[in-house]
Amino acid sequence: MIKKISVFIIFSFFLQNILFAKSQYLQEGISLFNEKRFEDAKFKFEQDIVFNPKRELSYLYLSKIFNKQDKNDLEEQNLKTVVLLNPKNEEAIYYLAKLKLKNSDYKKSKELIKKLNFICKDFCSKSDKLKIEIENLSKQ
């Protein structure tokens, strides 16, 4: 009986440490991102995804890093993952619409803005500005 309790206590201790380490990757990644240490931040977000494959915030930050590095394909891939995990993530939809506009895909950008306008709470004003920009560019 004492042996079982000892094993349980040891297992609980290690499990608690593992869970704590998992949550630390995201926080460390955000700190490194804010310090503009993008490669180090990218590594931390990737570590977080290994343990938390459904954490949309890590994918969102990876997309921001790839945006800074001008890696459009990787940025888009991570934004699409965020939207897949949370179809109502306004920030991801907004940045995906901006990326589509940057790539001259006006039709897809308009669709995304329409979707964003339907669900928006925080990005409504940004969405309206982007909609005007799309309209002006598609007329040219």
Task: Report the helix count and the strand count for the chain, using DSSP H and E.
Answer: 7, 0
* Domains of the chain by residue range: 2-139
pLDDT for 10: 57
CATH level 3 topology of 2-139: 1.25.40
The pLDDT assigned to 120 comes to 77
pLDDT digits (tens, 9 = 90+) for 23-42: 799 999 999 999 999 999 99
Give the Cα-Cα-Cα angle 53, 58, 61 (nearest 5 degrees): 155
Burial of 22 (0-12, 13-18, 19+ CB in 10 A): middle
Q: What average pLDDT score do residues 106-110 get? A: 88
> What does the pLDDT look like over 50-79, one tens digit per residue?
999 999 999 999 999 999 999 999 999 999
- Cα–Cα distance for residue pair 17/60, rounded to 1 Å: 26
* pLDDT band for position 11 (cuts 50, 70, 90): low
* Residue 28: both structure tokens together: 């460390």
Q: Indicate the pTM of the whole model.
A: 0.76
The pLDDT of residue 15 = 47
The CA distance from 77 to 63, in Å, is 8
Confidence of residue 1 (pLDDT cuts 50, 70, 90): low
**Tokens matching residue 35:** 């310090």
Mean residue pLDDT of the chain comes to: 85
Per-residue tokens: 137:
């560019």
Which is more confident, 20 or 104?
A: 104
